[in-house]
Amino acid sequence: MPRHQFRGRRTTLEKWPALNPGIKSSATYFDAWVSHPERLGIELLQDGLAANSQAVALNYAELRRTENGQYRVEDQIGGASVAVEPTLIINATGGWIDIANQSLFPPEARPAPLMGGTKGSHLIIDNDELCAALADHMIYYENEDGRICILFPYLGKVLVGSTDIRVDDPETVRCEADERDYILQSLAFVLPDIKIKPEEVVFQFAGVRPLPASTDSFTGRIPRDHFCTVVEPTDGGPPVLCMIGGKWTTFRLVRGNGSGHDAGKTGPAAARCDNRPADRRRAGISRQRAGLACERRHSQGHFRRAYG
């Protein structure tokens, strides 16, 4: 990728004239972008199913421990359930980890809260002047309150975010009016002359960052790292491996931690394992080099096959 580039105030404003004239300098660097994470999620499921003929992917299904200490997978829509005998349970439910643990342990054996999730809301704005001002760049900046904010072109519109607010119940999160005001204010701070009309906010959404439990008063300081904790049951049931934190950018590393436990490995041994799927491991570097051009050529057919 091209090298990064630093610019002083004058050259920054020459390149992005709409930026706040109070800017001191800018740094431009190149990075990868997961444009459609939901598609990556589907591909991960497909990798898992291809890797083991006994693997089953179930949507809207929950694992639950019954009063007599057995386990059942329950269909949350149809209501059917099936008994299972797990030797290891991996709790990778993100912001729901503590809630899921409530179904996996009797009350007296539940672990202390592991999760300190924070809500992040984003807006999608349809404003041509804003889109043009970005000149195809993502802008990553510090708002007046010290929070890191971003805005970038997205499918012909601009995605702007985000907030960072503690939540207890991930099920109820949504982008609230005060968050919308905060995001628009942060946008006005970085691009002061671009006026956004209310009707130009065409979509808003919120997600929960699965962060570790923390007492830090500034949510921006809660570590964004990931780790696994094994909760051993007191009554001889299967251990529950809880995956705390994690991002799209680190998902293979997180899997390394989990599979390391599964295979009796821990720590550095787990971190060293090659987490790429077998086909990508074999293809190695050469695939990376040929990758982009080839993917572009085949992407239409690939998307048709994979997603219908």
Ligand X SMILES: Cc1cc2nc3c(=O)[nH]c(=O)nc-3n(C[C@H](O)[C@H](O)[C@H](O)COP(=O)(O)OP(=O)(O)OC[C@H]3O[C@@H](n4cnc5c(N)ncnc54)[C@H](O)[C@@H]3O)c2cc1C
Task: Note if the bond before 286 is cis, omega within 30 degrees.
Answer: no
Residue 46 · residue 29 · CB < 8 Å: no
Q: How far is the CB of 9 from ligand X (least distance, A)?
A: 27
Q: What is the DSSP pairing of strand 227-231 with strand 201-209?
A: unpaired
Nearer to ligand X, 28 or 250 (CB): 250
In the complex, what is the shortest distance from the CB of residue 83 to ligand X, in angstroms, rounded to a whole number? 17
Are the C-beta atoms of residues 254 and 105 closer than 8 Å to each other? no
Write down the least CB distance from residue 17 to ligand X, Å. Answer: 27
CA-nearest of 170, 162, 160 to 202 is 160
Q: Which residues bind ligand X (CB under 6 A)?
A: 62, 92-96, 100, 120, 162, 207-210, 246-249
Name the residue nearer to ligand X (CB basis): 9 or 239.
239
Closest CB to ligand X among 162 and 186? 162
Q: Work out how close the CB of 276 gets to ligand X at its nearest, in angstroms, rounded to a whole number.
A: 17
How far is CA 26 from its chain centroid?
26
Which token pair is 143? 């708002």
Shortest approach of ligand X to residue 204 CB, angstroms? 12
Q: Taking Cα atoms as reference points, which of 197, 206, 152 lies closest to residue 178?
A: 206
Phi, psi for 211 (deg, rounded to 5): -95, 155
Q: Least separation, in Å, of the C-beta of 71 and ligand X?
A: 12
Coil, strand or helix: which one is 90? Answer: strand
Question: Closest CB to ligand X among 224 and 289?
Answer: 224
Written in H, E and C, the secondary structure of 37-73 is HHHHHHHHHHHHHHHCCCCCCCCCEEEEECCCCCEEE
State how far the Cα of 280 lies from the Cα of 117, in Å rounded to an integer.
33
- For ligand X, give the closer residue by CB, 78 or 264: 78
Question: Pseudo-torsion of CA 188, 189, 194, 200, nearest 10°?
Answer: -30
Q: Are the CB atoms for 208 and 167 separated by under 8 Å? A: yes
Radius of gyration of the chain (CA): 23
Q: Least separation, in Å, of the C-beta of 104 and ligand X?
A: 8
Query: Shortest approach of ligand X to residue 248 CB, angstroms?
Result: 3
Closer residue to ligand X, CB minimum distance, 120 or 260: 120
Helices 37-51/278-307 angle, 10° precision: 120
Q: Pick between residue 20 and residue 250 the one whose CB is nearest to ligand X.
A: 250
**Closer to ligand X at the Cβ: 130 or 206?**
206
